[in-house]
Amino acid sequence: MSPPKTAPFAEEEIDLLNRVVGTASPVQRAWLAGFLAGLDASGAAVLPHPAAPARPAEPLTIIYASESGNSEKLAGDLAKAARKNGLKPTVIDMADLELSALASAKRLVMIAATWGEGEPPARAVRAYNELMGEGAPRLDGVEFGVLALGDTAYAEFCAIGRKIDERLAALGGKRVVDRVDCDLDFTEPAARWIGDAVKVLTPPNAGGRVIEVDFGAKAGASASTDIVEAEIIEHVDLNSSRSDKETIHLALSFEGGAPAYEPGDSLDLYAENDPTYVDELLKIAGLANDEKLRADFIKSRDVTTLSLKTIETYAASTGHQYVKALLADGQAKEWIAGRQLIDLIATFPISIDAEKLRALTRPLAPRAYSIASSRREIGDEAHLLISAVRYDSHGRARKGVASNYVAERLKRGQHVRVKLKPNRHFALPAPDKDIIMVGPGTGVAPFRAFVQERRATKSSGRSWLFFGDRTFTHDFLYQLDWQDALKDGALTRMDVAFSRDTPEKVYVQNKLWQRRADLIQWLDDGAYFYVCGDAKAMAKDVRAALVRAYADVKTLSPEAAEKAVTTLEREKRYLQDTY
Ligand SMILES: Cc1cc2nc3c(=O)[nH]c(=O)nc-3n(C[C@H](O)[C@H](O)[C@H](O)COP(=O)(O)OP(=O)(O)OC[C@H]3O[C@@H](n4cnc5c(N)ncnc54)[C@H](O)[C@@H]3O)c2cc1C
Ligand SMILES: Cc1cc2nc3c(=O)[nH]c(=O)nc-3n(C[C@H](O)[C@H](O)[C@H](O)COP(=O)(O)O)c2cc1C
DSSP string, 96-141: G--THHHHT-SEEEEEEE-BTTTB--GGGHHHHHHHHSTTPPP-TT
**Residue 544 pLDDT > 90, yes or no?**
yes
Instruction: Please state which of the ranges 54-68, 97-111, 298-312 shows the lowest mean pLDDT.
Output: 54-68
Give the closest residue (by CA) to ligand 2 atom 16. Answer: 150
> Hey, is 341 helix, strand or coil?
helix
CA dist 544 and 438 (Å) reads: 13
Which DSSP letter does residue 131 get? H
pLDDT in tens, 406-448: 999 999 999 999 999 999 999 999 999 999 999 999 999 999 9
Ligand 2 center to 67 CA (angstroms): 8
Residue 51 has pLDDT above 80, yes or no: no
Q: Which of 245, 367, 416 to mutate to test the pocket of ligand 1 (most atoms within 8 A of CB)?
A: 367
pLDDT in tens, 479-519: 999 999 999 999 999 999 999 999 999 999 999 999 999 99
| Average pLDDT score, the chain | 92
| pLDDT for residue 195 is more than 60 | yes
Does ligand 1 come within 6 angstroms of the Cβ of 251?
Answer: no
Cβ neighbours of 210 (radius 10 Å): 13
CA of 119 to the centre of ligand 2 (A): 9
Q: How far apart are CA 532 and CA 437, in angstroms?
A: 8
Report the residue among 245, 373, 389, 391 best suited for mutation to probe ligand 1: largest number of ligand atoms under 8 A from its CB. 389
- 234-286: pLDDT as tens digits: 999 999 999 999 999 999 999 989 999 999 999 999 999 999 999 999 999 99
Output the CA 12–ligand 2 centroid distance in Å: 59
Question: Coil, strand or helix: which one is 226?
Answer: coil
How far, in Å, from the CA of 496 to the mean position of ligand 1? 23
pTM: 0.88
Cα end-to-end distance, the chain, whole Å: 78
Look at residue 100 in the predicted model and tell me its pLDDT: 87
Ligand 1 pocket, residue 383 CB under 6 Å:
no
Q: What whole-number percentage of the chain has pLDDT above 90?
A: 85
How distant is the alpha carbon of residue 66 from its chain centre? Answer: 6
Q: Determine the residue of 66, 93, 94, 115 to mutate for testing ligand 2's pocket, defined as the one with the most ligand atoms within 8 A of the Cβ atom.
A: 115
Over range 16-20, report the average pLDDT.
65
Q: From the CB of 67, is ligand 2 less than 6 Å away?
A: yes
State mean pLDDT over 275-299.
Answer: 98
Protein residue closest via CA to atom 29 of ligand 2? 115
Q: Which protein residue has the closest C-alpha to ligand 2 atom 22?
A: 113
Ligand number, closest to the Cα atom of 94? 2
477 touches ligand 1 (CB under 6 Å): no
Which residues neighbour 508 within 8 Å (Cβ) at sequence distance 6 or greater? 438, 440, 466, 467, 468, 495, 497, 538, 542
Ligand 1 centre from 389 Cα, in Å?
A: 7
